[in-house]
C-alpha cells in the first residue's frame, strides 16, 4: 500500500471523531457530523476545511513571468501583485496536467502555484522538465505550509472579529501577504464552494492554532471533503480526474475562457486553438433526472440504447433537492433540453441536458 501522508491537522480531525479516508495521497476527513449539516453550514453560515493537502510551488527568477506564461493557460504578463488567476497546465495535445491557481506575489518575479494534492509530485516533475532554457528557481514548499479554507456568508465577519485579520477590502480572487503572530501568512478571497470565503496559508504550527481558535472561540463548523465535493459540484466547479484530466481538454469541459489563445505561446496552444476553431467531439454538460435515482461517476449516458458518454460527477443535490450530474457526452447531443437516459445498474432513468451550474454562486464581487 502506498505511503499515505497526514496533514498538520490530522490529530485535530481524529480528536473530533472525523470519519477519515485516503484522498490524494493524504488521510483526510470526509465528514465530522453529516455531509448535509456541513454543506448547509457553508451555504447559510460558515464552515472551515483543512486543505493543507494542496500543493504550494513557488517559481522565481528573472524569467519567472515568461516561464509561468509558458506552462499556464491564463495570461500572467502584466498581472499586478496581489492578484490570483485560475487556469490549467496542458500537455501538447491539449489534455490537462492539472488545474491550478497562480498568485502574483509582492516580491518581483515571484509566483505561487497552488496545485491539486493528488498531482503534486507529477506537477513538480513536469514543471521542472519544462524549465530548460529558463532562468528560474522552482521550490516545492508543499510540506511546509498548512492551509485552512473558511467558507460561507459569515466568513468575512469571522476573519475580522475572531482572527482580527483585515480582509474586508479584499476583492474576489485577490490576496494579502500579512504578518500574523510574528509569521508571514497569505490570505486570499478564494474558495471551492460557490460561497464567499477565504483561504489562509500559514506554517503548519500556526495552522493548528488557527484551527483550534476558530473551533473553540467562534464555533465554526468543521467540514470534510464530502461536502467540499457536494458544494463545488452544485455550482459547476470542476474536479481534476472527473471534469478535467489528461483526456479531457478545457474546451471539452467548457472552460475555454481560462485559456488565452491570443497569448504569444504556451504549451498546448496549437491543440486548443484548433479545438476552439473546429469544435470538439465531446462536451461536458449538466443533466437533470426526472427521478430521485442518483447518477454516479462512470455511469453510461445513452440515447435509444446507444452509449453517448459517461457521468463525471453526480449527486442528489442538498441545496436544490434534485438528482443531477455532470457528464461528458457526444457534442451533437449537448443542446439544452435534449432527452437522454442514464443507466444506473440494470435500469435506465430519463433526464434532460441542462446548465452545469445547478446552484447560483454567492461570491463577493
Contact 147, 200 (CB under 8 A): yes
Look over the chain and give the mean of its residue pLDDT values, rounded to a whole number.
96
The reply to whether 281-354 shares the fold of 5-52+143-234 is no
Q: Is the pLDDT of residue 158 over 60?
A: yes
Strand locations in the chain, DSSP E?
Answer: 5-6, 19-23, 26-31, 47-50, 55-60, 84-90, 96-104, 110-115, 137-140, 145-151, 175-180, 183-188, 197-203, 221-223, 282-289, 300-303, 306-316, 323-330, 339-344, 347-354
Confidence band (pLDDT; 50, 70, 90) for 28? Answer: very high
Q: Pick from 187, 202, 190, 99: which is nearest to 151 by CA?
A: 190
- How is the chain split into domains, by residue range? 5-52+143-234, 281-354
**What HEC string does 103-122 produce?**
EECCCCCEEEEEECHHHHHH
The dotted CATH code for 5-52+143-234 is 3.30.1360.120
- If one compares 363 and 273, the residue with the highest pLDDT of the two is 273
Per residue in 327-341, pLDDT (tens digit) is: 999 999 999 999 999
pLDDT above 90 coverage of the chain, percent: 96
User: In this predicted model, what pLDDT tens digit does every residue of 88-127 receive, in sequence order?
Assistant: 999 999 999 999 999 999 999 999 999 999 999 999 999 9
Residue 339 backbone dihedrals phi, psi, to 5 degrees: -85, 130
Q: For residue 361, what pLDDT is reported?
A: 87
Residue 3: its pLDDT value, please?
86
Q: What is the mean pLDDT of residues 279-300?
A: 96
Per-position DSSP letters for 214-263, written without gaps between them: HHHHH-PEEE-HHHHHHHHHHTT---BTTTBBTTB-TTTTT-GGG--TTS
Q: What is the pLDDT of residue 363?
A: 85
For 330-357, give the secondary structure using H, E and C: EHHHCCCCCEEEEEECCEEEEEEEECCC
Residues 223/47, Cβ–Cβ less than 8 Å? yes
Return the pLDDT at 2.
Answer: 62
Is residue 57 predicted with pLDDT exceeding 80? yes
* Phi and psi torsions of 204, nearest 5°: -65, -40
87 within 8 A of 258, measured Cβ to Cβ? yes
CATH number of the 281-354 domain:
2.40.30.110
Confidence of residue 307 (pLDDT cuts 50, 70, 90): very high
- Residue 186: pLDDT band (50, 70, 90) is very high
* pTM for the predicted model, two decimal places: 0.96
User: What is the distance of C-alpha 18 from the center of its chain?
Assistant: 22
**Per-residue pLDDT band at 1 (split at 50, 70, 90):** very low
Amino acid at each position: 500500500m502506498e505511503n499515505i501522508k497526514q496533514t498538520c491537522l490530522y490529530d485535530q480531525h481524529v480528536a473530533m471523531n472525523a470519519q477519515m479516508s485516503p484522498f490524494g495521497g493524504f488521510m483526510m476527513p470526509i465528514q465530522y457530523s453529516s455531509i448535509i449539516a456541513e454543506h448547509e453550514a457553508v451555504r447559510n453560515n460558515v464552515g472551515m476545511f483543512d486543505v493543507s493537502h494542496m500543493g504550494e510551488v513557488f517559481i522565481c527568477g528573472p524569467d519567472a513571468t515568461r516561464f509561468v506564461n509558458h506552462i499556464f493557460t491564463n495570461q500572467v504578463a502584466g498581472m499586478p501583485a496581489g492578484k490570483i488567476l485560475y487556469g490549467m497546465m496542458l500537455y501538447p495535445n491539449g489534455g490537462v496536467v492539472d488545474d491550478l491557481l497562480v498568485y502574483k506575489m509582492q516580491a518581483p518575479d515571484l509566483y505561487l502555484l497552488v496545485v491539486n494534492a493528488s498531482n503534486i509530485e507529477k506537477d513538480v516533475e513536469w514543471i521542472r522538465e519544462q524549465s530548460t532554457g529558463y532562468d528560474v528557481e522552482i521550490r516545492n514548499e508543499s510540506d511546509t505550509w498548512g492551509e485552512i479554507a473558511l467558507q460561507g456568508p459569515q466568513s468575512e465577519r469571522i476573519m475580522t472579529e475572531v482572527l482580527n485579520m483585515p480582509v474586508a477590502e479584499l476583492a474576489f480572487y485577490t490576496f494579502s501577504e500579512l504578518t500574523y503572530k510574528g509569521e508571514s501568512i497569505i490570505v486570499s478571497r478564494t474558495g471551492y464552494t460557490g460561497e464567499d470565503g477565504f483561504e489562509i496559508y500559514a506554517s503548519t504550527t500556526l495552522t493548528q492554532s488557527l484551527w483550534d481558535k476558530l473551533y473553540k472561540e467562534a464555533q465554526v463548523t468543521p467540514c470534510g471533503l464530502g461536502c467540499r465535493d457536494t458544494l463545488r459540484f452544485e455550482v459547476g466547479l470542476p474536479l481534476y480526474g472527473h471534469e478535467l484530466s489528461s483526456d479531457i481538454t478545457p474546451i471539452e469541459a467548457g472552460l475555454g475562457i481560462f485559456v488565452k489563445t491570443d497569448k504569444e505561446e504556451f504549451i498546448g496552444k496549437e491543440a486548443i486553438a484548433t479545438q476552439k476553431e473546429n469544435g470538439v467531439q465531446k462536451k461536458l454538460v449538466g443533466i437533470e433526472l426526472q427521478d430521485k435515482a442518483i447518477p454516479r461517476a462512470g455511469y453510461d449516458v445513452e440515447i435509444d440504447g446507444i452509449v453517448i458518454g459517461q457521468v463525471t460527477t453526480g449527486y442528489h443535490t442538498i441545496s436544490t433537492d434534485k438528482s443531477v450530474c455532470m457528464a461528458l457526452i457526444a457534442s451533437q447531443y449537448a443542446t439544452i433540453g435534449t432527452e437522454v437516459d442514464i443507466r444506473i445498474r440494470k435500469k435506465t432513468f430519463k433526464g434532460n441536458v441542462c446548465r452545469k451550474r445547478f446552484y447560483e454562486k454567492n461570491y463577493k464581487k
